[in-house]
């Protein structure tokens, strides 16, 4: 089972490169085996051109210890672990520094819901965290990055908002699997660009109305969804 997950996570890491979401080594994908309490994640700083499935690192969700692999896991591993512990329904996480989503994160602004494309995947604006304090950065930066995300989701359902912008940093996205998490990273970047282009045309454009937002989101999500095939 873990070898299959390593293959899936490797493929997902390659896909974020093909999708244009990664520059250099700025990005990582992980996946979780909930039954065994294990996370598979990209190794730290290894170039995507030389990356192989065998290089994937296996980490204990509970302790954070490396239990498989010879390389160090991504430096963002503690953030992934916080999210897996806090959001029990997610199966994969993607972090990138994609251009438009990161620009919104650096501006410390949520991405407003301006149209139906956005509403197909997010039940409102893409949330942005608060800036981290100097103490949070100094003491346990990566873990506290996860904690500010969890704090931001105190009154939000992660299944309604499959991505977040970490202020001054970039997007973290998730899904039921590493593959779906990559889907959401692609959609988040597209939505971020759409918002940027729309506001360049008209900075005063209002958000999408609640009726159209709810219609588009609910036709793809929830028990009454009817988009696609059964």
Q: In DSSP terms, which residues pair with 170 in a beta bridge?
A: 166
- Told to judge if 65 belongs to the known catalytic residues of this protein, a careful annotator would answer no
d(CA 93, CA 99): 18
Q: Which helix (H) or strand (E) is 104 found in, with range? A: helix 99-106
Give me the catalytic one of 33, 48, 120, 141.
120
CB atoms within 10 A of CB 201: 7
Identify whether the C-beta of residue 83 lies closer than 8 Å to the C-beta of residue 146: yes
With contact defined as beta carbons under 8 Å apart, do 95 and 171 qualify?
Answer: yes
| Residue 227 annotated to the active site | yes
Among 95, 78, 113, which residue's Cα sits nearest to residue 21? 95
- Three-state secondary structure call for residue 134: helix
Active-site residues, by number, are 120, 227
């Amino acid at each position: 089972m873990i070898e299959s997950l390593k293959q899936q996570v490797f493929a997902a890491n390659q896909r974020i490169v093909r999708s244009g979401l990664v520059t250099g080594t700025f990005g990582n994908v992980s996946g979780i085996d909930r039954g065994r309490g294990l996370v598979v994640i990209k190794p730290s700083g290894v170039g995507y051109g030389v990356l192989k499935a065998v290089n994937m690192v296996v980490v204990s969700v509970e302790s954070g210890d490396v239990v498989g692999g010879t390389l160090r896991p991504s430096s963002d591993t503690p953030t992934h672990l916080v999210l897996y512990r806090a959001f029990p329904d997610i199966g994969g996480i993607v972090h990138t520094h994609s251009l438009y989503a990161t620009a919104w994160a650096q501006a410390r602004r949520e991405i407003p819901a301006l149209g139906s494309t956005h509403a197909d995947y997010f039940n409102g604006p893409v949330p942005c965290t608060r800036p981290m304090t100097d103490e949070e950065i100094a003491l346990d930066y990566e873990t506290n990055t996860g904690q500010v995300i969890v704090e931001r989701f105190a009154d939000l359902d992660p299944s309604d908002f499959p991505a977040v912008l970490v202020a001054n940093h970039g997007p973290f996205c998730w899904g039921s699997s590493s593959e779906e998490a990559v889907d959401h990273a692609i959609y988040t970047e597209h939505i971020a660009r759409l918002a940027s282009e729309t506001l360049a045309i008209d900075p005063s454009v209002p958000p999408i109305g609640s009726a159209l937002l709810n219609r588009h989101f609910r036709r793809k999500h929830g028990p009454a969804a009817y988009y696609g095939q059964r």
